[in-house]
Amino acid sequence: MADYSFDVDLGALVAASRGMSSAIELMRAKDVADLVPDGAALGHDAVRSATAVFVERWERGITTLVQDVDELAGRLGRVAMNYADLDTAGQSAISAVTADVRAVRVMAP
């Protein structure tokens, strides 16, 4: 028989979502160009040109990565909220059933 039980660590989901959001903010605070030496430090025109192409591609890749991680962080946060809502609803339903069961009076013979 299949076992359908599972556990969700809501704290871990929330922490992961917040961690990704923090990383995104750090990535947005720095530009890739800030990490590369300026043209004078590179010296040769061919090196400057190759570096400029690399920086442009790197920037595009980082921008795409940030967008993807931002979407993932948002979805992970929504998943955590959905699980928390489901947990609350389940707890309320079980409490209602418990109250109903306690209200049942068994007649003595």
Model pTM greater than 0.75? Answer: no
d(C-alpha 74, C-alpha 53), whole Å: 32
d(C-alpha 54, C-alpha 57), whole Å: 5
> What's the pLDDT tens digit per position in 41-58?
878 888 888 888 988 999
Supply the angle between the helices 10-29 and 45-103 in degrees, to the nearest 10: 160
* 71 close to 17: Cβ distance less than 8 angstroms: no
Distance from the Cα of residue 101 to its chain's centroid: 41
> What's the pLDDT tens digit per position in 66-109?
999 999 999 999 999 998 998 899 889 998 888 888 888 777 65
Q: Which two tokens stand for residue 40?
A: 């004078």
